[in-house]
Amino acid sequence: MQLGLIELASAMGTFSDETVKAEATNGSFESTLQDGWMTAEVMSNYLRIMAGDMTEAEMAALGLSDASIKGFVKQAKAAEEAATKVRTFSQLVDTAAEALGSGWSETIEILLVTSRRQLNYLLESMTY
């Protein structure tokens, strides 16, 4: 992610004589952030690229080279697969347990709310 942000910021021209040079960020990424090279626009564009919300033409318009664009597209696809696909048995068990847990909690909530309403109705009818 850091290298992608640096590459994008460099292509967008946020590195200048007043700010840190792109090469200097490799040594101490965090300490260079205070120099202001990573703007909200850089981060927003990076997130759009990683989400697949930016076309290759839009990336080229930001100043990215063809090789950089191909790298970003590959990285975005890998990130999406890692976030959405189950690859191991333990991930499958965790996903199933989470789905079952939320399903059961909804069912129990419905039963308790329904039972409480029925109990309240029964008590109200007994008092009249």
Q: What confidence tens digit (pLDDT) does each residue in 82-92 have?
A: 777 877 877 77
pLDDT, one tens digit per residue, over 14-71 is: 876 555 555 555 556 676 777 777 788 999 999 999 998 999 999 999 999 999 999 9
Q: Retrieve residue 75's tokens.
A: 């990285």
How far is CA 112 from its chain centroid?
35
Q: Which residue has the tokens 């976030």?
A: 83
* Dist CA 108 CA 91 (whole Å): 26
DSSP 3-state percent helix, strand, coil across the chain (nearest 5):
75, 0, 25
